[in-house]
Amino acid sequence: MTYNKDDMFSEAAQHWDLERLYQALGEAKRKMSPSARKGLTATERLYLRGLLCGYSPADMARKLFQSSKGLEVYMSKTLYQYFKSLVDVPSEKLGNWRNILSGLEDAGYKAELSASSQLGNSLPEDVLIKISNVTIERNIKNTITITINLNLSSAADSNPETLEDESTDEEEGEADRP
């Protein structure tokens, strides 16, 4: 199976300042080994994005069709060392890959996105939300399904007379809780 390494774990960019992190870890790498290649390799960037997405090394190895042990050894010799140098963490405090996430967050690499930037500014500022239908169903396996239909419209496009609340307070009965 072929894949583009730059596209794998790309969702990390939604939550982390990747470019600043790539640069900082690249600088940490150069401090540790001045003769090393400038910046992170494509593989190092891939594994870092995987960690930032919350994948364990074993999960990444499965997803990438690689040896779990090989990936863990590679990360221990590269990314983990750069991380320790970047945030000045002793080896015994690093513990495992989860500590890298909290350490990077504490160091200010987690992106702070506003609600509008998370939506990609796809909604206008004045949005009217109207609940058009709510259904609650319970099946034989005691699973409850709640379906909510919403109508979104821009305040500029809507007629104020049609935006009155059409909901009722009628209840058809409640399902027994398990």
What is the per-residue pLDDT across 129-140, written as a single tens digit (0 to 9) for each? 777 777 888 887
Q: 124-148 as b/e, with b when 16 or more CB fall inside 10 Å?
A: eeeeeebeeeeeeeeeeeeeeeeee
The confidence band for 175, taking pLDDT boundaries of 50, 70 and 90, is very low
Q: What percent of the chain stands above pLDDT 90?
A: 37
What's the pLDDT score for residue 91? 60
At 174 the pLDDT is 44
Separation between Cα atoms, residue 129 and residue 134, nearest integer Å: 14
pLDDT at 26 over 80: yes
**Rounded average pLDDT over 42-61:** 94
C-alpha–C-alpha distance, residues 80 and 71, integer Å: 12
φ, ψ of residue 32 to 5 degrees: the values are -75, -35
Q: Which of 175, 33, 153, 94 is nearest to 44 (CA)?
A: 33
Q: pLDDT higher for 47 or 152?
A: 47
Residue where the block lists tokens 């060392």: 81
Sign of CA dihedral 14, 17, 19, 25: negative
**Lookup result for tokens 């099946």:** 139
- Give me 93's structure tokens: 């405090």
**Distance between CA 32 and CA 26 in Å, rounded?**
10
